[in-house]
Amino acid sequence: MESLGSRIKQLRLRAKLNKAALARKVGVSDVTISYWESGAIKQIGHERLVALADALDCSLATLLEGDSAPELLTLTHTGPLPWEQVQATKIRVPNHLPMTIDWKAPCVMTTPGPDTDFSPATTGDLLLLGPTHVFHKAGHYVVQRDDRFVIEHFAKAPSDTAIHAVLLAHWHPA
């Protein structure tokens, strides 16, 4: 399996950028780029990953999973959930993502569909969702309300709401 560092280097060379140019675009030092590429820094914050994907002119999925990244699934208010769709490809949480929940099960990367309201996410955002029916800890969850899927924040386990997924990560393009 290709490491994130080698993907960053490969995408940087594909974009015809040197380390200093990429560093300027991302807002870090060229030494940081070197550390990322060598694997000396293994975890990169969400904001930096989004900036990195933008600077390298690739999708976040390509940055995290490579050119064989699964097709991005769309989250809608009705119909089957993205991980229940036939074409759904589940992924493992990349170990270089800092997570607030220790998630070991497969997850899906998705985006809210056009003309949907999945606050705090908006169309164009990327969401990493962990399919589950279990409350893990305070955070945002995909639940069903009146025949519609929505994202709600829970501080404690809800007693009257069926959970369908936990929001593991949320990226909002700048």
CA–CA gap between residue 120 and residue 129 (Å, rounded): 14
CA–CA gap between residue 5 and residue 39 (Å, rounded): 5
Q: What is the pLDDT of residue 22?
A: 95
Token pair for residue 51?
């900036």
CA–CA gap between residue 143 and residue 152 (Å, rounded): 7
- Other beta carbons within 10 angstroms of residue 150's beta carbon come to 15
pLDDT at residue 155 greater than cutoff 90: yes
* pLDDT tens, position by position, 109-138: 888 988 888 999 988 788 999 999 999 999
Query: What would the 3-class secondary structure string for 143-170 be?
Result: EEECCEEEEEEECCCCCCCCEEEEEEEE
- Residue 81 half-sphere exposure, CB side, CA atoms within 13 Å? 22
* pLDDT tens, position by position, 57-97: 887 777 877 776 656 788 889 888 888 876 667 777 777 67
Distances (CA, A) of 134 to 44, 74, 75: 28, 22, 20
Q: What is the pLDDT of residue 148?
A: 92
Q: Give the residue-averaged pLDDT of 157-173.
A: 89
Distances (CA, A) of 127 to 14, 30, 36: 26, 29, 23
Q: What is the pLDDT of residue 1?
A: 54
Residues in the chain: 174
* pLDDT tens, position by position, 15-63: 999 999 999 999 999 999 999 999 898 888 878 888 898 899 887 777 8
